[in-house]
Amino acid sequence: MEVAVTGAVQRRPRADGQRNRARILEVALRLFVERGAEVPFTEIAKEAGVGVGTVYRHFPAREDLIEAAYRSELDAVCAAAGELIEAMPPADALRTWMDRFIDYWATKIGLTDAIRAVVAAGGDPFAQSRERLDDAVGALLSATAAAGFTRPEVKADDLVVSLSGIAMVVGVLEDREQVGRMLDLLYEGMRTRP
């Protein structure tokens, strides 16, 4: 199906093209975290099960692929908030999402060198990241406050900043159990009191 956009005809992405793009992003994200920004497109293509031309068609420049890989992880952590709210009680959804945020942050730290390349090329991979995270956390906090679990005055941005602070020490601590205890302390601090 074709859709007219400002006088031009723009095709909707085909389902196989969307699947290819998703596989490329998944593989690229993992490889960039593991090995840095200079992973060859040929290797990304091979692991994604596509031709190298497909990678270049979706992402003409390395910086495009790095930024898209980071944004796909941001999309996933933000989408997880709504998915968790629908799948479990609000209090459980909030605590589960807090763990998911730590994983997102670890990936973000793993992409530091790759993201520097995007910024050096004039890109802004973090544009609207904070607002999107605040919206995701806001949905979780609204659900937990409505359920009487968290205090209504807890602000989404305060929670994002607090989680970011905990996440920044994850690499230093290298102790996931301690990170869990730190998250539990933060989680308990948001609860309503009788």
Q: What is the pLDDT of residue 1?
A: 46
pTM higher than 0.85 for the full model? no
Residue carrying the six token digits 């309503």: 192
Percent of residues in the chain assigned helix, strand, coil, to nearest 5: 75, 5, 20
Residues 33 and 89 in one domain: no
Neighbours of 161 (CB within 10 A): 13
Question: In tens digits, what is the pLDDT along the chain, a chain of 194 residues?
Answer: 444 455 555 666 677 878 999 999 999 999 998 888 899 999 999 999 999 999 999 999 999 999 999 999 999 999 999 999 999 999 999 999 999 999 998 888 888 888 888 888 888 878 888 999 999 999 999 999 999 999 999 999 999 999 999 988 876 667 888 899 999 999 999 999 87
C-alpha to C-alpha distance for 66 and 55, rounded to whole angstroms: 12
Residues 38 and 80 in one domain: no
Residues 153 and 80 in one domain: yes
Q: Which residues contact 110 (CB under 8 A, 6 or more apart)?
A: 32, 33, 34
Residues 69 and 134 in one domain: yes
Burial class (CB in 10 A: 0-12, 13-18, 19+), 151: middle
CATH number of the domain that residue 66 is part of: 1.10.357.10
Residues 67 and 29 in one domain: no
φ and ψ of 148, to 5 deg: 80, 15
Residues 48 and 68 in one domain: no
